[in-house]
Amino acid sequence: MLYTADKKSIKKHEVPEWFHDAKLGIFIHWGLFSVPAFAVTGLDLVESMKKGFETHFKNNPYAEWYLNSLRIPDSPTQKYHFKNYGEDFTYDDFVPIFNEKIKKWNPKEWASLFKKAGAKYVVLVTKHHDGFLLWPSKYPNPKKENYCSNRDIVGELSKEVRKKGLKMGFYYSGTLDWSFNPEPIKDGRSFTENGVRTPEYVEYANNHWRELIDKYESIILWNDIGYPPTNVCEIFSYFYNKFPEGVINDRWRQIRKKGDNFPLVTRGDFLTPEYETFNKTRKKKWETSRGIGNSYGYNKIETEEDYLTSEKLIHMFIDIVSKNGNLLLNVGPMADGTIPEIQKKCLLGLGKWLDVNGEAIFGTRPWIRAEGKTLNDIEVRFTQAKDLLYLLLLGRPKSKTITVQSLNLEKKATIQLLGLKGSLEWKQEGNNLSVIIPKNLPESPAHTFKISPKPNMNLNQ
């Protein structure tokens, strides 16, 4: 169908099957902030926000917010910067350092790692809130000369990612651009007022999105923190008409002031919670994003305690998938493009688990319920595909059997443990399912039981 630049037409776009099937994407935050690589540690976004806006912004756990934190008097970041670089060293002085370091970057290594981790798509931050571009745009920053990477990071990475069979999408900071607005975000009010609204900036941002669509063929438009005053339906329809299988996120919220005349678009193809997940299955597709640590951009101050273990990551991922979500898992490379070993370890641990259990993840859909438990209180999650039900056990059983509460199978059903050959013995104990665990149960953060045929829904609702 042909999409037009209005809300009614845009709403007709449906989430493509590939995005439902994909489940796992890799987010990449890399830029000037990767040079100082500093932020306050100990809290993730959700915990930090509970302390109030002023405290949060002064002690922001996101290293990619370095410039804003630097502009807040007496903040930990400002103290760190003055001590290590001096008061006369500006954020712009990181540009030549970053451009020198990225000469070592090898995009092939990134693409290979993402493939091994099991990812199906990649979303690169092309411009974060500091305004620095990771590609040589035809539309350069009018406020700062040569304020971009001297390698075409967007183009080089896209080429290697697609070679591995993965899809490529791009993040762009919509309203926030601190190269246009030097005022820091210090509290709730300054956060809502910090966005740039000038006609010059609207044209600048629109041109960038068109360029990312046309030249780099983005299949995902991942905008952040709203968009300046313009009819974004024009961007949406242009994108959908060129890539009907493309997807757009939900962070295009606009503030309409007196005299503005443009349609407010409140929807996207998918919801985007951050460092949070939903506790129930959502009908609307969603994708949660988070770093392996508490920051998206690389924070050299973080320790192993700040990072997810492979087990926690896998359990979280299973839970997300069971509730109709995708996981957009972030890597924060060092300035020279090196992905820290602790992040690699987590990614490869996830990939190793998916090598065995991936069929219970990719291409699946939520079942009639997402959660369950054994009688020994081990958490269970469910996914389904065609005539199969997958029961994912989030822990290692300590006895010879597991008994899953409120699960009724058909008498002819068979149960297999992914990673082992043969069928398992099972029996129905009232409304509970009891399964005998094989003696050679491998070590794994989570085990998947494949049930065929899928049990009768009426008996399990």
Domains of the chain and CATH, by start: 7-360 (3.20.20.80), 371-460 (2.60.40.1180)
- The alpha carbon of residue 241 and the mean position of all alpha carbons in its chain are separated, in whole angstroms, by 25
Q: What is the dihedral of CA 195, 198, 204, 209, to 10 degrees?
A: 50
Residue 326 φ/ψ, nearest 5 degrees: -110, 160
**What crossing angle do the helices spanning 233-242 and 199-214 adopt, rounded to 10°?**
10
- The alpha carbon of residue 405 and the mean position of all alpha carbons in its chain are separated, in whole angstroms, by 33
What residues pair up with 121 in beta bridges, in sequence order? Answer: 25, 167
Residues 277, 312: contact at Cβ < 8 Å?
no
In angstroms, the CA 197 to CA 180 distance is 10
Residues 72, 194: contact at Cβ < 8 Å?
no
Per-residue model confidence (pLDDT) at position 98? 98
Q: Which residue in the block uniquely carries the two structure tokens 């709730």?
A: 188
Per-residue model confidence (pLDDT) at position 276? 96
Per-residue model confidence (pLDDT) at position 258? 84
CA angle 426, 429, 435 (to 5 degrees): 25
Per-residue model confidence (pLDDT) at position 263? 83
| Distance between first and last Cα of the chain | 38
Q: Please state, as a whole number, how many other Cβ atoms lie within 10 Å of the Cβ of residue 309.
A: 14
In angstroms, the CA 232 to CA 209 distance is 11
353 residue type, one letter: W
Per-residue model confidence (pLDDT) at position 460? 79
Token representation of residue 159: 């080429």
Tens-binned pLDDT, residue by residue, of the chain (461 aa)? 899 999 999 999 999 999 999 999 999 999 999 999 999 999 888 898 898 999 999 999 999 999 999 999 999 999 999 999 999 999 999 999 999 999 999 999 999 999 999 999 999 999 999 999 999 999 999 999 999 999 999 999 999 999 999 999 999 999 999 999 999 999 999 999 999 999 999 999 999 999 999 999 999 999 999 999 999 999 999 999 999 999 999 999 998 888 888 888 877 999 999 999 999 999 999 999 999 999 999 999 999 999 999 999 999 999 999 999 999 999 999 999 999 999 999 999 999 999 999 999 999 999 999 999 999 999 999 999 999 999 999 998 988 999 999 999 999 999 999 999 999 999 999 999 999 999 889 999 999 999 999 998 766 76
What does pTM read for this prediction? Answer: 0.97
Per-residue model confidence (pLDDT) at position 220? 98
Q: Which residue in the block uniquely carries the two structure tokens 């469910």?
A: 382
Residues 445, 379: contact at Cβ < 8 Å?
no
Pairing mode of beta strands 432-436, 426-429 = antiparallel
Residues 24, 317: contact at Cβ < 8 Å?
yes
Residues 144, 92: contact at Cβ < 8 Å?
yes
What residues pair up with 127 in beta bridges, in sequence order? Answer: 133, 172
- E-state strands within 317-395: 325-331, 371-373, 379-385, 388-393
In angstroms, the CA 181 to CA 166 distance is 36
Per-residue model confidence (pLDDT) at position 458? 66
The 8-class DSSP code of residue 104 comes to: G
Residues 126, 212: contact at Cβ < 8 Å?
yes
Distances 179 to 143, 183, 220, 412 between C-alpha atoms, Å: 7, 10, 25, 65
Q: What is the dihedral of CA 54, 60, 66, 72, to 10 degrees?
A: 20
Q: Which residue in the block uniquely carries the two structure tokens 């013995």?
A: 425
